[in-house]
A and B are shown apart, each in its own frame.
Chain A
Amino acid sequence: MTGTYVREFEAFAGNGGAEGPAWLPRVRRAAIDRFAAVGFPTTRDEEWRFTPVAPIAQTEFRPAGPGAVTRAALGPFLFGHAEWPRIVFVNGKFAPELSVLSTLPGGVRLDNLASALRTDGELLERHLTRHARPETTPFAALNTAFMRDGALVYVPPGIALEQPVHLLFVTSPDAGGTVAHPRNLVVVERGARASVVESYVSLADGARYFTNAVTEVVSGEDAWTEHTRIQRESERAYHVGLTHVDQARGSHYRSFTLAMGGAIARHNLHVRLNAPGIETLMYGLYLTRGEQVVDNHTAIYHDNPNCNSWEVYKGVLDDRSRAVFNGKVFVKPEGQKTDAKQTNRNLLLSSAAKVDTKPQLEIFADDVKCTHGATVGFLDPLGLFYLRSRGIPTQTARKILTYAFAAEVVDEVALAPVREELNRLLLARLGHLE
């Protein structure tokens, strides 16, 4: 279907795709050329070896149209306070009537990309597509060619956002067979603090649609950013996402990624450390069942000295589902005194579930501390016996141990309301404990 997208691009470029600042059409054109040249990846590509995206490549998705979603229907996806800032997109398109944009402190921008492209061309030119490059993956190229809307979060220097900002992407019940390319830009300037939650949710349970998202995060000098990504698409949908983070000197970026939706779901998280003295925390949890395939690829680029990165991804797999984890740590010769630790732990609830896990360390500096470890296993039979010997029924004992395994990583989320919401999602998925 590579040709279909290219033809669609010509139609798109001919009517409205050309809107926005003058530099944008060139960027789009280069991106579609890139996509036309490389096409969809196959399992012959090392980066996509364990994740067959053929069902995505072979389906002719229509561009997503508007969908009707009521405020009440959003209920299950909101958290914290109702008046907390949030920007809602339905099928990839900004839904102002569902958003809460009025409660932001001075200077902070929370806007939709389509309108920001008309008003903030300069800010966007400095950042948009400069961080997540179309060459990174074919899907990123496709997103860049077709992006129309998404969220812009801008936190000026020195401003601390007290409340988390929620970017909420909803798929409407009638969106089966469509594709959306959400594009987000988060800029946290020097000395600023922000917590951003990015969720992909569905009111189209059982629908087969495709979300192809790209998010760029710019973390300024000494900035503190918490980024929580919640992927709970329909379990028949396809989700591909790329998050690229650029960090400046002294900044702290922490990410938590929850992946529990999608028939095929892939997320790439790439973090580049552009100066010394940076701290990066990457936590992830994936919960899979049925025939789901959930793939997390992370890459951290230690290009500079005296930076610390800490990564823990955990997975709970049931039924015949599959998970892929690939964690790359690149340490350049300049990256002396790097302290990098990576862990991937997987719990299989079924003997038919499968995990492909691959840590990949490429270290070109000699004075570094880099460790990695991966485990795949079943629930500890002794632990189960211990709980049962106290009168706890087997099924409950299994849930308690599974919850405990997963909750350990959720506990790392800094903001309490975000952590509580993730806990609630986890409990709902595992089946409530007694």
Chain B
Amino acid sequence: MLDVIGLRASAGDTEILRGISLKVNPGEVHAIMGPNGSGKSTLAQVLAGHPAYEVSGGRVLFEGRDLLELEPEERAQAGVFLAFQYPVEIPGVTNAYFLRAAYNALRKARGLDEVDPMDFLDILEQKLKIVEWEPDIMSRAVNAGFSGGEKKRNEILQLAVLEPKLGILDETDSGLDIDALRIVAAGVNRLRSPERAFIVVTHYQRLLNHIVPDVVHVLVNGRIAKSGGKELALELEARGYDWVEEEAGVA
């Protein structure tokens, strides 16, 4: 599904990703872990087309298409979804309007008819259950004045509505209390399917107790220093990142 080959990217003059290669198959969950500044959030944002980063080398194929050639909206239309670490507040636009606009934009791009507000409400009702939310959240402005936990839940709600093929969660666990973490993780688990893959970027192992990964990658200094199964996350939790950094010869 996703084939990242020698990806390099920089912000301004600073190279952050220094040759990342990674293969994700349908149905798989890959965790990307690593110390602060290792480039794991950058990887997530570059895959979604964040304008702050410039790709300086490598390729990314998504279902055979050159992902890096696509605009952010085209990536979304192709089935890539990034759950933001810091979701953006948009005063003046209701959650309902925003979600329907996105839902219809995806349908339109795929040659399907748009749905009207009433039909959309029915779809929404089902999806709200996934994040254990009441419909009144839909009349609030997008993320405006939301708590940290509400913002993250809103990202998962969007993911549930837009049904991407690849969901990328960028530190979705940061700033969550244990209840919000449980809701968010349960939501993601309900959305797991043999056709859908996830990349879960996280600093801590605790999220991976809830969303159990198939593969764990450790990023150090813009490169994947180590890959393994879910037990690698436990080892990192117990031993920290120093030993991986030493192995990678950077500490």
Contact = CB atoms under 8 A, between A and B. Distances in A.
Interface of A: 380-383, 385-394, 396-397, 400-401, 403-405, 407-408, 433-434
B128 interface: no
A400 B142 CA distance: 12
B49 A403 contact: no
Contacts of B73: 388-394, 397
A381 B51 contact: yes
A400 B101 contact: yes
A253 to B, nearest CB: 25
A397 to B, nearest CB: 8
Interface band, chain B: 20 to 34
Contacts of A383: 88, 90
B90 A401 contact: yes
- The residue in A380, A392, A407 that gathers the most chain B C-beta atoms within 10 A of its C-beta is A392
A391 B162 CA distance: 9
- The residue in B49, B87, B92 that gathers the most chain A C-beta atoms within 10 A of its C-beta is B92
A434 B90 contact: no
Given A394-B71, A403-B92, A404-B90, A389 B82 contact: yes
21 contacts: A381-B51, A383-B90, A385-B88, A386-B84, A386-B87, A387-B101, A388-B49, A388-B72, A388-B73, A389-B76, A389-B82, A390-B73, A390-B81, A390-B105, A391-B73, A391-B105, A391-B106, A391-B162, A394-B73, A404-B92, A434-B108
A391 B106 CA distance: 6
A144 to B, nearest CB: 41
Given A391-B105, A392-B105, A434-B101, A404 B91 contact: yes
Given A388-B72, A391-B102, 10 more contacts: A389-B72, A389-B75, A391-B77, A394-B73, A400-B93, A400-B101, A403-B92, A403-B93, A405-B92, A434-B114
Nearest to B107: A391
B103 to A, nearest CB: 8
Contact of B101 (A381, A405, A407, A433): A433
Contacts of B77: 391
A392 B71 contact: no
A396 B71 CA distance: 14
A434 B104 contact: yes
Nearest to A392: B105
Given A393-B73, A408-B92, A385 B101 contact: no
A263 B84 CA distance: 44
A434 B88 contact: no
Nearest to A383: B88
A392 B84 CA distance: 16
Contacts of A394: 71, 73
B234 to A, nearest CB: 32
B109 interface: yes
A391 B109 contact: yes
Nearest to A405: B92
Interface string B136-178: 0000000000000000000000100010000000000000000
A302 B19 CA distance: 65
B50 interface: yes
A389 B48 contact: yes
Interface in B51-81: 51, 71-73, 75-77, 81
Interface string B182-221: 0000000000000000000000000000000000000000
A403 to B, nearest CB: 7
Contacts of B81: 389-390
B145 to A, nearest CB: 14
Contacts of A387: 90, 98, 101-102
A390 B76 contact: yes
A414 to B, nearest CB: 18
Contacts of B87: 386
Contacts of A405: 92
Those 8 A-B pairs whose CB atoms lie nearest each other, nearest first: A404-B92, A391-B76, A390-B102, A386-B88, A388-B72, A391-B106, A391-B105, A388-B73
A393 B105 contact: yes
Contact of B158 (A381, A390, A401, A408): A390
Contact of B49 (A389, A396, A408): A389
B219 to A, nearest CB: 22
Contact of A407 (B71, B92, B98): B92
A408 to B, nearest CB: 5
Contact of B76 (A388, A400, A403): A388
B160 to A, nearest CB: 13
Contacts of A388: 49, 71-73, 76
A401 B109 CA distance: 21
A12 B204 CA distance: 85
Contacts of B84: 386, 389
A380 B86 CA distance: 14
Contact of A404 (B51, B82, B93, B105): B93
Contacts of B48: 389
A205 to B, nearest CB: 30
B186 to A, nearest CB: 23
A433 B92 CA distance: 14
B49 to A, nearest CB: 7
B201 to A, nearest CB: 15
A400 B100 CA distance: 12
Contacts of A382: 88
Contacts of A389: 48-49, 72-73, 75-76, 81-82, 84
A387 to B, nearest CB: 8
B50 A390 contact: no
